[in-house]
Amino acid sequence: MHNNTEKTVIIGGGKACRLLLRNTASISQFDILGVIDDNIAVHSLIEKNYPVLGTSKEAYRIAKQNNVRAIIIALPSERGTTIRRILLSLRLLPDITVYIIPRLPEIVIRDRIFAEDIRKIEPVDLIGGKVDIHSQTRVVKTVKNKTFLVTGAAGSIGSELSRQLYIDLPKKLILLDNSERNLFYLKYHLSLIHPHISTQIQFVLGDVNNTALLSHIFKENVIDTVFHAAAYKHVPLLEENVYEAVQNNVLATFNVAKEAARHNISSFVLISTDKAVRPDSIMGMTKCVAEKTIRYFDCQSKTVFSAVRFGNVFNSNGSVVELFTKQIERQEALTITDPTMKRYFMSVSEAVHLILNAWTHIEKDRMYMFNMGSSVNIMELTRCLLMINHKSTNYPVNIIGKRKGEKTNEVLWDKQKERRTDEIYDGIYSIEQKQGCDKEGFESSLQKLLDLLPRNEIKNHSAAGAKKLKTALHRLCRAK
């Protein structure tokens, strides 16, 4: 933290700010000049001798005139748009260090703020907010005494799903992934949470398309719910590897869903993406077909099959945020595909919080989408990341143009084909298809796609084979 010779301003004059100023120990390392707040008419003094210096629109002027070296953002109910706006207003002062305090629930519970609560701002603060997973009483009650299979369990979403489920003490977790390294670290991290509890965990290193393995897992366990998170997700890479995309995103979904239906488990949840809506990319088309596959099984099975659809997971493996962060660390120019591009972002903990809450409301003939807030302009996000990392506005940025399969904007639901209901839970919407399930037509088209996969001309990644797969994917995405 800063020593007490560095001048500091607090942004936000509400309860959090007052708690901060009353606990002098928490701010002993800061020389507090005053507060920036938009409610000047309400108060000219916040606490003791701390004046309101101006509004948030004047933050740059106030910081520059007073040689401010640190900013503490005391707006615990805010993240995303508000935080980005503050950072953008200060971006011409890259030497300022920006700090932030906890989300509102933590402050309300304790009614105090400690010195260790004040931390440097992190990339995740630029979008939604972290969720207190211990408050999910409905989820906790539903998870207890149940057995779960999580595919792709060591990936970004899968590992957080495994962690949040484990915290809620299920009967058993079966965690399947094909990455030895990631599964090893997942096992290590989970061992730190509940080292002595009765929950059984089975770590399965294997391919989700190993049908013999899947059959054995379902026969040996009475599984209640499958969370199918296994998928390839990188749009440009999958454009050049169509066979692998279909194998992992379509065939694997079909194989796991088939076993789930055969054993009449309670529920199956596919982790989907906004790229499945009116898809242009191979990745989007494979996830679109995966969603349709789930609907196909839901039409003819006792098991409740559903999907949850949301945008980008912030700072996940291989995400644009991870790429930007590494480029900044290496002092490399940032590579932007299109400065007008916008994306929906959500933190991984927030996404999993909503996945689990959607699952507790799951019904047949329904999919679910999340309220992702406003989409974020990629150039705006870049500027904020540069500010966090004390980089000047002259930091080099290269515009490289949109890559194959990328859209300028994504949407979360198709208004022509789908109906979105009101929120069924805070941040969760239900989606209904306007047209019924064409089981026979879809089954025939899907089988034609799957019949292509064993052929050598397809498996060898040839251009001719990729073209045939793309044609079959297009046909399936157009189907009811």
Is 385 domain-assigned? no
Q: Tell whether the model's pLDDT for residue 269 goes beyond 80.
A: yes
Based on the domain organization, do 81 and 141 belong to the same domain? no
Question: Residue 185: which domain range?
Answer: 133-333+344-376+404-433
**What is the per-residue pLDDT for 369?**
93
The mean pLDDT of the chain is: 88
Mean pLDDT across the stretch 405-422?
A: 85
Q: Report the distance separating Cα 389 and Cα 385, nearest Å.
A: 6
Question: Could you tell me if residue 472 is inside a domain?
Answer: no
Alpha-carbon distance 223 to 257, whole Å? 13
User: Looking at the structure, do residues 98 and 143 belong to the same domain, yes or no?
Assistant: no
* Res 110: pLDDT: 60
Residue 92: give its domain's CATH number.
3.40.50.720
**For 397, phi and psi rounded to 5 degrees?**
-130, 125
pLDDT in tens, 197-243: 778 999 999 999 999 999 999 999 999 999 999 999 999 999 999 99
Q: Which of 87, 121, 155 is the last residue of a domain?
A: 121
User: Is residue 383, in this structure, part of any structural domain at all?
Assistant: no
- Regarding whether 203 and 66 lie in a shared domain, the answer is no
pLDDT value at position 130? 46
Domain boundary residue among 64, 93, 121?
121
The band of 195, judged by pLDDT with boundaries at 50, 70 and 90, is: low
pLDDT at 14: 84
The number of distinct structural domains making up the chain is 2
pLDDT top residue among 4 and 406 = 406
Mean pLDDT (whole number) for 76-95: 84
196 shares a domain with 103? no
The answer to which of 29-38, 265-274, 286-295 has the lowest mean pLDDT is 29-38
Global pTM exceeds 0.75: yes
pLDDT of residue 208: 97
Show the tokens assigned to 93.
Answer: 């002062």
324 and 249 in one domain? yes
Residue 477 in domain: no
Please give the distance of CA 294 from its chain centroid, rounded to a whole number. Answer: 21
Residue 386 belongs to some domain of the structure: no
Does residue 323 sit in the same domain as residue 423? yes
Q: Is residue 85 part of a domain?
A: yes
Q: Does residue 370 surpass a pLDDT of 50?
A: yes
pLDDT number for residue 169: 85
Instruction: Clarify whether residues 111 and 216 are in a common domain.
Output: no
- Same domain membership, residue 318 and residue 204: yes
One domain, residues 353 and 275: yes
Which comes out higher in pLDDT, residue 22 or 46? Answer: 22
- The answer to whether residue 288 sits within a structural domain is yes
- Give the type of residue at 359: W
90 and 238 assigned to the same domain: no
Residue 157 placed within a domain: yes
In whole angstroms, give the CA distance from residue 23 to residue 421.
46
Question: 370 and 271 in contact (C-beta within 8 Å)?
Answer: no
User: Going by C-beta distance under 8 Å and a sequence separation of 6 or more, which residues neighbour residue 146?
Assistant: 170, 171, 224, 225
